[in-house]
Structure 1
């Protein structure tokens, strides 16, 4: 349960103001069809985070426990620093041919590609390596993405303007830093 809850919370906070959340705003403004956008985000996230989590599990299996602890701990601390750098999204990334792919297909492709190498994808790799439990991590990171992006689809720019992004990013950075320190100190359970 810890893997699911931590994954959900970390990714929900990490997604606030992230380029994929900005993409969700942009797609909602462009297409004005929330359901296929939300389903596209869900499908893209499930595939992307399953691949990322599988990579994390593979990395965990390849490294010894001491090396893995240091790699994960340092990765979480690096993520903490990265969380403090705001993302920007160029409009062209949502400019796929909507007639060829439709709203769902356009969302699926653009969201999947935007998530490649993104903070939340890297966090999924690290969380899967940390917890050695792929399904709860992927379920948690996917839920975290949906918690951040579904309101973005429905509320658009109004939601983004009212969120204190510095506070949200600072909180996410603090959580990543805490996870990193606890991992380096070899603290097994957070709760």
Structure 2
């Protein structure tokens, strides 16, 4: 059964994690070569597949005994917080490097389905095993609600990619990526604490 509250929690976690990440930068670069709408369609299709895989993995983890699953989920939230905090100070330099990396992967102009397919392929190959996927799997195991978690994660990813395609360069000039990354770390840390408390009480 779908839970709007769970989907909103997942969105609130995944969105700040992905906003300064490769997802945003890759979409921005692709949108400079192809029509932004075609880029967004291809990118969100890739995210749909990746979210489905992450939710499926989390659903399998949820079949294990509850305490080990909670401990694993809490550990993943702590790892997420650590990675986000560690990278916050160098996020601007990382942004430039990632942009250069994806610019080298994009080949020539393309239109129609070729642009959609190229955008799908770039994101599909680049984003396996990244933090948002690991968090999506952990959240699925924690809440045991794959539909709500999957919807929340997918909408967050689709929103980030839409911002990257439509307003990427303008947003990069106006927002502080380090602050967004630290916000994501705080959310991860809060979830880790909540999960630990539930584990101790259980």
TM-score between both structures, scaled by the size of structure 1: 0.90
- The answer for the alignment partner of 1:28 in structure 2 is 31
Question: Of the candidates 138, 160, 166, which is equivalent to residue 178 of structure 2?
Answer: 166
Q: Count the aligned residue pairs.
A: 185
- The answer for the alignment partner of 1:53 in structure 2 is 55
Contact 2:29 2:103 in 1 (8 A): no
- The answer for the alignment partner of 2:46 in structure 1 is 44
Contact 2:105 2:122 in 1 (8 A): yes
Deviates more, 1:91-100 or 1:77-86: 91-100
What CA distance in whole angstroms lies between the structure 2 residues aligned with 1:104 and 1:123? 27
Gaps of 5+ in 2: none
Shift of 1:53: 0.8
> Equivalences for 1:1-191 in 2 at 5 Å?
1-31=4-34, 33-61=35-63, 63-84=64-85, 85=87, 86=91, 87=94, 88-89=97-98, 90-91=101-102, 94-95=105-106, 102-186=114-198
What CA distance in whole angstroms lies between the structure 1 residues aligned with 2:109 and 2:6? 37
Shift of 1:158: 1.6
Contact 2:23 2:160 in 1 (8 A): no
- Superposed CA offset, 1:98-150 (max 9, x none): 65971100111111111101111111111111111111111111111122221
TM-score between both structures, scaled by the size of structure 2: 0.85
- Superposed CA offset, 1:4-38 (max 9, x none): 0111111111111101111011001122x011111
Distance 1:110 1:93, change over 3 A: farther
Gaps of 5+ in 1: none
Shift of 1:96: 5.1
Deviates more, 1:172-181 or 1:87-96: 87-96
Contact 1:27 1:94 in 2 (8 A): no
Give me the CA root mean square deviation: 1.9
Contact 1:76 1:176 in 2 (8 A): yes
Distance 1:98 1:129, change over 3 A: farther
Deviates more, 1:146-155 or 1:47-56: 146-155
What CA distance in whole angstroms lies between the structure 2 residues aligned with 1:96 and 1:70? 44
Distance 1:92 1:156, change over 3 A: closer
Secondary structure of the residue aligned to 1:116 is coil
